[in-house]
Chain A
Amino acid sequence: MKRLIFHSAFVILVLLASCTPEIPVPTQKEKSTDLLVPSDFNWKTTQVIKVTVAGLSLPADFFSTLRIIDPEGNVLYTCNYNLRENLNFNLTVPGSVKELQLTYGKRTLKASIVNGSAGFSFMLN
């Protein structure tokens, strides 16, 4: 009996583990007024990303041009940046963008967009 319970529990666990949450695919509606839209949906085709850039504790100011670039090479943000400072700003990008690239002086950094944020750091170690 114990073995049966153990095996049953194991099978259930395996079945549960194999379930991945999926977004239910809504049925095609005949008209817009039939749509069931979550009240918190912002209707945006863009996403606002919180970008953080961690600088270095340098002994002197170091200015150069910082650019944030999307995977297609489009420049999304440009500023004159002092590497001694940390930088925070919001960036609007198309909703389908998953990764951002930062160029600054001779450095190129990449960051994935996770939970609406992308973080870059110049620290090497």
Chain B
Amino acid sequence: MKKNILLLLIILGATTGYPQVTNNFESGNRATNVNNCWIFDNTNINASKPIQGKYSCQTGSLSSGVHKLTSPWIQTTGSGKLSFKHKMDLNNGISRLLRVFLLNDANQVVQTLYTYNYPGDKRTVISTSVDLPVAGVFRIQWEFTGTGGSSRGNLDEISIDGVYNSDPTSNDGKGDCAAIITVQDSDQDGVADTDDQFPDDPYKAYEVSFPAAGWASLAFEDLWPETGDYDFNDLVVDFKIITITDARNEIVEIRGSFITRAIGASFHNALGLSLAQVPSASVRKVTNSFPGGLSGNYFNLTEQGVENGQTYATILVYDDAFKVLPHPGTGSGVNTTPGAPYVEPKQVDVNIILKENGEANGNPVPVSSWSDNNLNFFIVVKADQGRGREIHLPDFAPTDLADRTLFGTGKDGSDVGRNHTYRSVNDLPWAINVTTNFAYPVEKGDIVKTHLKFGPWAETAGKSYPDWFKDKSDYRDQGLIYRH
């Protein structure tokens, strides 16, 4: 089924009952009109001797040349009217002629709608109304010509029965635009099939991935509030977040994919995601491709699949990293000790549904208010022994179930009141988020000795080496990068 996806505002005419395209030139700005696909050819907008209001469209001196104004494309019904007012600014000149044409998409004259030879006092305002007897998509063109004298033509109060049908994005810079074309929109959601990533689903239109290509990584140190060896491999998780939106630009689903690649620790840590500013009650359903990962005693989920007792929607990916990346039996940790057996990482997919069949619980989440600041990743350390010991990325908020008595203990330098969290007393983090697949250090390989530009990046507050994690010359001690 076809539908014109470019929704056009219908301005109902007060007297005719037709939608109308109007122009009284009171913007005083030719550029504004050109942007709206009006073409000025030896004409301009002028405050000199206007017909009505402060401004009219005015030609140059009509002693020579052709002076035109052309309207945007307008869809006519075949029974509407064209009305406008016109005059000369001065009473001089041998001859003055106004002709009004209906133009087709080849710029050919379909019909001459009106002709006027200015007799006597040319300054008299003429109010004109003519029929638009043809249905279709046309432009209206006013053409002034003359001989002798210096008087100029004025045009104002244009009203055309019809629907605006120009595509401003095709503007050639002089107001010449293409007419709007009808395109396929199978699910009739207002997004053309060519743009719609779900062309047969009226409740979904777009998806955007973070990162835009490939995978990003989270890397944790898990001794908070004490500091550890800074090898950032106690838990290494690749992730990708796909946000699906509808034609109203509201978030329908958030699809998270997580691949746990390394556990350089012995603690049984859980992985979670809290959606900042998204109330728990807004989530209609959560699905997890690894249900066996949520069998711990310390996590209490609602029927919808979010964690109970949380203001903001909090989702557990798994409650124990070793369930998705089992210890191979030898070596310290999993996939952090060179030479130890390699365990193939397993992907866990979590689907968070915020709208179903167009319905949201409470206020929908607009995509314009969404950024990765809303993705509050965290681990729960020793989740087999309790729920409270959370570690987040720096400056992200603890969840409602975090044990806040731990802040300010050990080496923690957080100031929760001013959102200065999960930083050591000398501002080191316990977690980092890298926008690409992180080449993490081997066990005990301090990150500053492994990624040689990490230190300069941190000490310059990110100004130097924002790409410290890339595999560039002199960026890494390759011997300290874990490989299998």
Contacts and interface: CB of A to CB of B under 8 A. Distances in A.
Answer yes or no: are A and B bound together in one complex: yes
Contacts of A58: 35-36, 164, 168
Interface in B1-23: 5-9, 11, 21-22
B372 interface: yes
Contacts of B433: 44-46
B125 interface: no
Contacts of B171: 124
A99 B373 CA distance: 21
A63 B173 CA distance: 20
A63 B8 CA distance: 9
B429 A65 contact: no
B6 A92 contact: no
Interface residues of A, number: 61
A39 interface: yes
Contacts, number: 202
Chain A's interface: helix, strand, loop or mixed, by majority?
loop
A36 B425 CA distance: 11
Q: Which of B173, B456, B464 counts the most A-chain CB atoms under 10 A from its CB?
A: B456
Contacts of B346: none
Contact of A61 (B9, B207, B210, B373): B9
Interface string A36-50: 111111111110100
Interface string A65-86: 1000010101111111001000
B469 interface: yes
B445 to A, nearest CB: 11
B168 A83 contact: yes
A41 B462 contact: yes
A86 B432 CA distance: 35
B382 interface: no
A75 B212 contact: yes
Interface in A15-62: 23-26, 28-46, 48, 56-62
Contacts of A56: 32, 35-36, 168
Contacts of A29: 448, 455
B170 A105 contact: yes
Given A63-B6, A95-B462, A123-B35, A80 B248 contact: yes
